[in-house]
């Protein structure tokens, strides 16, 4: 789970998707924008993508386990911050999570 200071609340920022840059992967899209000093993240899994809530929560937990240590390390070592919102576009296997990890590392 992401610590509270690293969670990003999309409801407060209505223009995020308009100004954010995109990076696409085989099963995900990362929307990101630079900001001073803070590293924050969010995960979105749509109901059309994964129909049951149990599966959606499972995929969110899998992505957060990758996202959390990257944000913690980046917070300690980097000066410029980053907001990363990960949109899962189709179900994935555990082996494919490494692709997401390399994509996030390349952003930071």
Confidence (pLDDT) at 32: 93
Comparing CA positions, the residue from 5, 63, 4, 56 lying closest to residue 29 is: 63
> How much is the mean pLDDT over the chain?
89
| pLDDT category of residue 19 using cuts at 50, 70 and 90 | very high
For residues 6 and 50, the answer to whether their CB atoms sit within 8 Å is: no
Higher pLDDT, 73 or 19: 19
Confidence (pLDDT) at 28: 92
pLDDT tens digits, 29-74: 999 998 887 899 999 999 999 999 999 999 999 999 999 888 888 8
Comparing CA positions, the residue from 43, 44, 35 lying closest to residue 83 is: 35
């Amino acid at each position: 789970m992401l610590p509270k200071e690293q969670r990003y609340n999309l409801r407060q920022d209505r223009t995020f998707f308009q100004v954010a840059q995109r990076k696409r992967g085989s099963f995900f899209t990362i929307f990101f924008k630079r900001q001073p000093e803070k590293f924050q993240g969010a995960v979105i899994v749509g109901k059309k993508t994964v129909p049951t809530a149990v599966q959606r929560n499972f995929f969110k937990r899998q992505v957060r386990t990758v996202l959390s240590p990257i944000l913690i390390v980046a917070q300690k070592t980097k000066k410029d911050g980053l907001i990363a919102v990960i949109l899962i576009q189709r179900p994935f296997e555990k082996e494919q999570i490494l692709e997401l990890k390399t994509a996030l590392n390349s952003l930071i």
